[in-house]
């Protein structure tokens, strides 16, 4: 029994350590709250993440979203059902994505050198501490699918990407100041169909935003198998 138990534990460990997609079933999951919004975390899960440049949303629009989101969440106290969470994404998150695609702000990532800085940061340790799947770097934001490995928390990974890219984009001879919004968007990918849907969103994002070829970077890292 002891040997069997050890094998079971080893099997679970190896499953977390590879790049295979794992559906989210809620077992052993932790719900974190950031600005009142629930974010699910579980070892072995895949996440759809959006980085937003500091000026990608006009201050007025950002304030209006904040007020609307606060009122909406007061009317929908947690814990949220899946239906409520989908409604939140439709009413708030989807609108944010539309604003991002409008191309507001300085669009630092339209500079190929800046976009490459972010891309290189994202690829560093890909296949070691995490698996990077499809991603697109747009002029004022970036979307990515990523699966952290057992030894890496999502927050730690995203903080590293932001810190490294900010430092390198703030080249002394060119610019100084904020690069990213403090908050980002992230969603746990619950099923294989959700994974396919996010991959398709990433693929079509430049088309929907009306970008010409060469105005964005769209590739895939080591990849997640499903």
CATH of the domain at 6: 3.30.70.1290
Report the pLDDT value the prediction gives residue 110, as an integer from 0 to 100. 96
Residues 138-183 have pLDDT tens digits of 999 999 999 998 878 999 999 999 999 999 998 765 667 789 998 8
- SS3 at position 111: coil
Is there a domain that residue 190 lies in?
yes
Decide if 77 is inside a domain. no
How many structural domains comprise the chain? 1
Residue 12 lies in a domain: yes
The answer to whether the CB of 176 falls within 8 A of the CB of 162 is: no
Q: Nearest to residue 223, comparing CAs of 142, 149, 128, 132?
A: 132
- Cα distance from N-terminal residue to C-terminal residue, the chain: 32
Judge whether 92 lies within some domain.
no
- CA separation for the pair 46, 196 (Å, rounded): 12
Cα 201 to Cα 14: distance, rounded to the nearest angstrom: 30
Encode pLDDT of 41-81 as tens digits: 888 899 999 999 999 999 998 888 888 888 888 898 877 78
Q: For residue 183, is it within any domain?
A: yes
CA 90 to chain centre: 17
Structural domain includes residue 71: no
- Position 153 in a domain: yes
CA–CA distance, 163 with 140 (Å, rounded to integer): 17
Expressed as residue numbers, the domain containing 35 is 2-55+106-220
pLDDT single digits (tens) 172-197: 656 677 899 988 899 999 999 999 99
> How far is the CA of 92 from the CAs of 62, 69, 113, 126, in angstroms?
11, 7, 32, 31
As a whole number, the mean pLDDT across the chain is 87
pTM: 0.87
Q: Coil, strand or helix: which one is 214? A: coil
Contact between 53 and 180 under an 8 Å Cβ cutoff? The reply is: yes
User: Does 119 fall in a domain?
Assistant: yes
Q: Give the tens place of pLDDT for each residue, 14-44.
A: 444 589 999 887 767 777 766 666 778 888 8
């Amino acid at each position: 029994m002891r040997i069997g138990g050890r094998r079971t534990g080893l099997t679970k460990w190896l499953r977390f350590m590879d790049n295979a997609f794992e559906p989210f079933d809620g077992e052993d999951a932790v719900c974190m709250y950031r600005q009142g919004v629930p974010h699910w975390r579980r070892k072995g899960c895949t996440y759809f993440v959006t980085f937003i440049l500091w000026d990608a949303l006009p201050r007025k629009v950002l304030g209006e979203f904040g007020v609307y989101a606060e009122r909406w969440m007061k009317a929908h106290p947690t814990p949220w059902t899946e239906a409520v969470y989908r409604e939140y994404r439709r009413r708030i998150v989807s609108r944010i994505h539309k604003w991002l695609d409008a191309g507001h702000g300085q669009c630092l990532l339209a500079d190929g050198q800046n976009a490459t800085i972010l891309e290189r940061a994202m690829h560093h340790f890909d296949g070691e501490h995490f698996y990077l799947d499809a991603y697109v770097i747009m002029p004022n934001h970036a979307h990515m699918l990523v699966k952290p490995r057992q030894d890496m928390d999502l927050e730690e990974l995203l903080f590293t990407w932001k810190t490294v890219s900010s430092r390198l984009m703030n080249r002394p001879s060119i610019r100084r100041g904020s690069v990213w919004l403090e908050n980002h968007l992230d969603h746990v990918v619950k099923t294989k169909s959700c994974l396919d849907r996010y991959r398709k969103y990433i693929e079509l994002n430049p088309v929907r935003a009306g970008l010409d070829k060469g105005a964005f970077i769209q590739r895939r890292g080591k990849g997640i198998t499903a």
